[in-house]
Copies of this chain bind each other. A is one copy, B any other.
Amino acid sequence: MKKAVCLLSGGLDSAVATAQATKEGYEITALTFDYGQKHKKEINAAAKIASDLNIKEHKIIKLELKIPHTTSLIGENTPPQNRSPEEINKQKKIPSTYVPARNTIFLAIALAHAETTNSQAIYLGAHSIDYSGYPDCRPEYFKKYQQLIDIATKKTTEGDEIKIKTPLIYLNKAQIIKKGFNLDVNYKHTWSCYLGGKKACGRCDACILRKEGFKQNGCDDPLDYETK
């Protein structure tokens, strides 16, 4: 049976990417990183999604990287609030929610798991249309990472493939959500909000883009929001 490692954050995008991997027939090892996020809502969400998708192995990996806090996802800075979807998507600057080298670290650890589990693929839910300010979510970034992987491990230098798969890379949020509907993703179990409240805040960039994506699909997000 073919195998894949999936980066499963607990957010909407990674849930859809992981569902796609299961649809393509891979036996999956899902990895969720506990890297000092402000809250554990996403990590709990990842466990629910892994269960929904009958993932064979779900590993929660705690990383204490001792990196000084420069992101609003860790520590005391607050992510921006109440911006319009247009404002968010048109921003030229890299957002304050950028985490230094996050995907580079996550993919490196996924690579080790792919090699040891004899997996042929690594799936992640990165996309580059909406909110494309993250340097480590762009197609050219994954292309360079693939070239590195091709010579980086015992497995790949001996001729076996480990391919980075980004099935959402050219989709916008509405298209990702639509794809997830077709894959029966239970969106109630996903968590996108940057804050860790009982309900999603509805005001941070992640909530705003998510709500807009459901709206464009002509339906409501099944998640509860503090503000609709």
Contact = CB atoms under 8 A, between A and B. Distances in A.
B135 A144 contact: no
A190 to B, nearest CB: 23
Nearest to A154: B94
Q: How many copies does the complex hold?
A: 2
Nearest to A117: B68
B116 A135 contact: no
Q: Which residue, of A59, A66, A145, A151, has the highest number of chain B Cβ atoms within 10 A?
A: A66
Interface in A125-148: 135-136, 138, 140-141, 144-145, 147-148
Contacts of A153: 100-101, 104, 135-136
Interface of A: 59, 61-68, 70, 94, 98, 100-105, 107-109, 111-113, 115-117, 135-136, 138, 140-141, 144-145, 147-148, 151-154, 156-158
